[in-house]
Amino acid sequence: MACKYADKKIVGGIYLSYPTAEGRNGGLIDPWTGFSGLTGVKLDSTIKVLATDEFETATTWVKNHGGRVGVGLLQLYLPLTGVFRNFSDLRSVIEFGITW
């Protein structure tokens, strides 16, 4: 008997997030557990997807609001109980484009 799962479009959850080429460019290297599903974003030319889940849903992205390319609002969700092994990845993507 096959198991039926709820459509991911209506049920969010904790999934592995995998960096995209853009994410690796920004400093993300390792996969991590993060929330996906209910933070849906309409992808357009102002959004760079930095990570996707196993369903190719964007889980981490940067939305540019008119500044330099690659800089803007960062959507990066990490649950309190999530596992993120490489915090230098986080710092790299958070500080991407910042010049001190």
Mean pLDDT by 10 residues, the chain (100 residues): 63 80 87 68 85 84 81 74 64 69
Hey, how many other C-beta atoms are within 10 angstroms of the C-beta on 41? Answer: 13
Number of domains in the chain: 1
Distance of alpha carbon 21 from alpha carbon 61, whole angstroms: 12
Residue 64 is part of which domain span? 13-94
Does any domain span residue 61?
yes
Q: What pLDDT score was predicted for residue 21?
A: 94
- Extract the tokens encoding 23: 């994410």
The enclosing H or E element of 67 equals none
Does any domain span residue 7?
no
